[in-house]
Amino acid sequence: MERKYYCECGCGQEVTIYRGKPRRFIAGHQSKNMSEETKLKMSKARMGHPGYNKGMKMSEETKLKMSLAQKGKTFTSEHREKIRQARVGKKHTEESIEKMRINSMKDRTGFRGYCDIWFDPEYKKDCRKDYCEECGATMNEVTLVLHHIDENKLNCKPDNLKTLCQACHARLHMLEIWQERRQAMRA
């Protein structure tokens, strides 16, 4: 006959066996009989220990380290589905919506050095021709991109933009790189 073990809080419920030994309490029952003072002491004792961040403010350096540790990690499709299920029905607060709106409208003039109008798809669509100005390939044959003639990304005037296919665009930039290297070798 197997012996039964019961929660020490006095609730009368049976506890599970873990690694061959019975647990003393059912999860959450160990604090039933504790005074508020004891609970507060235990909370303070845990502060600063790994995995316990209640009430702690993380430094920017710590946040960066945590962010870098997560970079490149991918979730399984099951995990992504669990995250999605947890978010179903939850609504953003007005404050979070405003933060997202501001984030999406950040000043883009400094972003990779492009002018602000560069982020307007309609403008780029109007400036782009439907053929490559170097080789004549049409947009049905290749992907077309806009090239800044004077290499100044802040100069997005239509007369400074040239429509090129990706191959011609890459060839043009490689030519510029080789010319810069030759000039550096001569100097």
Q: What is the pLDDT of residues 97-126, one digit of tens each?
A: 877 776 665 555 455 567 777 777 788 888
Residue 1 lies in a domain: yes
DSSP state of 15: P
Residue 168 lies in a domain: yes
Number of domains in the chain: 2
Residue 24 lies in a domain: yes
Which residues span the domain enclosing 148? 115-186
CB 166 within 8 A of CB 145: yes
- 9-66, pLDDT tens digit by residue? 777 888 888 888 888 888 777 766 677 887 788 777 777 666 666 666 778 898 888 8
DSSP state of 58: P
Residue 69 has pLDDT above 70, yes or no: yes
CB-based contacts of 167, cutoff 8 Å, min separation 6: 135, 142
Residue 58 lies in a domain: no
Residue 131 lies in a domain: yes
Residue 158 lies in a domain: yes
- Predicted local confidence at residue 109, as pLDDT: 47
Q: Say which residue the tokens 């995995």 belong to.
A: 51
| Phi (first) and psi of residue 146, to 5 degrees | -100, 135
Residue 98 lies in a domain: no
Residue 10 lies in a domain: yes
CB 162 within 8 A of CB 133: yes
Closest to 130 measured CA to CA, from 81, 163, 95 = 163
Q: What is this structure's pTM?
A: 0.39
- 71-103, pLDDT tens digit by residue? 888 888 898 898 888 888 878 888 888 777 766
Mean pLDDT of the chain: 80
Residues in the chain: 187
